[in-house]
Amino acid sequence: MSTSRLIIYDTTNFTDFPIGGQLTSVRNFLRYLVEFRKDRIRDILLVGVTKDPQEVGRLIQAECFGAALSFLPVACVETDLGHTAHSLRLAFAKGLLRYGKTLHITKRDCNYIQTPEAVGPVRLLKPGAKYVIFSHGSYANMDRGFRFFRKNLLVRKAFGLYLKYVIRHASLILCLDEDSMRDYRPYTDRLVMAENSIVLPSGYADWKPHPFSGKLLFVGRLSKDKGVDGIIRAVKEAAAGAEGPSGTGEALSLTVVGEGEEGENLRAMADGGNVVFTGAVPPTEVSRYMEASDILVMNSAFEGVPMSILEALAHGLPVVTTNVGGIGKTVRFGKDAEETDGTSQSILQAVRTIEGSYERYAEEAHLAGADHSYEKIGGRIYEQLSRFWDGENCGNA
């Protein structure tokens, strides 16, 4: 096979599962390719998961923005993210080993990997295969997000060693934040700063700020590291008048969009009140919830650059967030965002600060959104990938 292909690996079906930054960023890049690089569509192959067990291991077609792309699902997944019985990462790696021969990977192909467990199978299937990593956050933090092996120190240590291998042998790593760059520098100098991208809302040009009504929004996976419990406590304290001298603002409500292993605990903690859980929704529906909200609240212990923050800015939503990962270089605290240390009191204080000058914060957020359009970011990522997609020697060890 003489053609150089771009093979994209992610634990998603590239359509609606799961909700999160990885799927959105990949789909935005695919949209860029479909609209601006039509001549290369036939050289793209997607590798992911499916909700239909009949599709596993079969080369099928995935519809992406009017184009039919070749797609190999290697595992069947559960769609209830709150009650998953098995590790999605492990299922994906096993499936790739089992069905990966269907890909016929060559050394000319560029393997564009969004999830690091794909690297081992790819290199076993084709020793010396070149791969580019899109790092959505520092791999140094990945074991903190484990659900199934959290207490298994041996597994965590082995996974850490594996990640160092992944970093050392990558042809290129696209990083979203300085923390990731710092963590990776001891192992490689093949690093480039990248960005996530968004599709600007259809009414972006005609947007106007609306009055503040106390509607807060969280979008993301319901896991411990996201700190959603702190946001819920802030809303409950506001309702109980427990926010001290600043308790003169609007009553607050919270909509939680997403699902995950902490879902049941968070619902029990919220106990109705002013908190609504939507469960997992397709990425295309997230916009509707943003249009109906006033402020996006993110409370993560670690992040890259959350896609939800970029989308919120484009919708004119100011952001209350912890300053972790690449967030501090994405938002402008005091202009389109306010910082929190993760405590409920700090979240409330940040919300009330924005409320006091809501129109100004909203206008600043809206203007910032245009800097992250998929057309701009997609072109930059394509420029980097084309160095390896065109079959050049990438110097893999």
Please say if the pLDDT value at position 397 is more than 50: no
With bands split at pLDDT 50, 70 and 90, how would you rate the model's confidence at 245? very low
Averaged pLDDT score across all residues of the chain = 88
Tens-digit pLDDT profile for residues 38-54 = 999 999 999 999 989 99
User: Do 48 and 101 belong together in one domain?
Assistant: yes
Taking 90 as the threshold, does the pLDDT of residue 87 lie above it?
no
Does some domain include residue 394? Answer: no
Answer yes or no: do 104 and 146 share one domain: yes
* 186-200 confidence digits (pLDDT tens): 999 999 998 888 889
pTM for this model (two decimals): 0.75
Closest-CA residue to 291 (of 197, 376, 206): 206
Q: Is 153 left (phi over 0), alpha (psi -120 to 50) or beta?
A: alpha
Instruction: Name the packing angle between helices 21-36 and 374-389 (round to 10°).
Output: 80
Residues 199-240 pLDDT 10s: 899 889 999 999 999 999 999 989 999 999 999 999 999 987
Q: What domain range is 261 assigned to?
A: 204-372
Higher pLDDT, 372 or 344: 344
pLDDT of residue 3: 78
- The CATH number of whichever domain residue 208 belongs to comes to 3.40.50.2000
Instruction: Note the pLDDT tens digit of each residue in 247-275.
Output: 456 789 999 999 988 999 999 999 877 99
My answer on whether 363 and 286 are in the same domain is yes
Together in a domain, 133 and 270: no
What is the spatial distance between Cα 161 and Cα 207, in angstroms, rounded to a whole number? 48
64-73, 96-105, 122-131, 243-252 — which is least confidently predicted? 243-252
Residue 174 lies in a domain: yes
Q: Looking at the structure, do residues 15 and 139 belong to the same domain, yes or no?
A: yes
Cα–Cα distance measured from residue 86 to residue 395, given in angstroms and rounded to the nearest whole number = 36
Per-residue model confidence as pLDDT tens digits over 139-171: 876 545 445 455 656 767 787 788 899 999 999
Question: What amino acid is encoded at 82 in this protein?
Answer: G
| Mean pLDDT in residue range 13-34 | 80
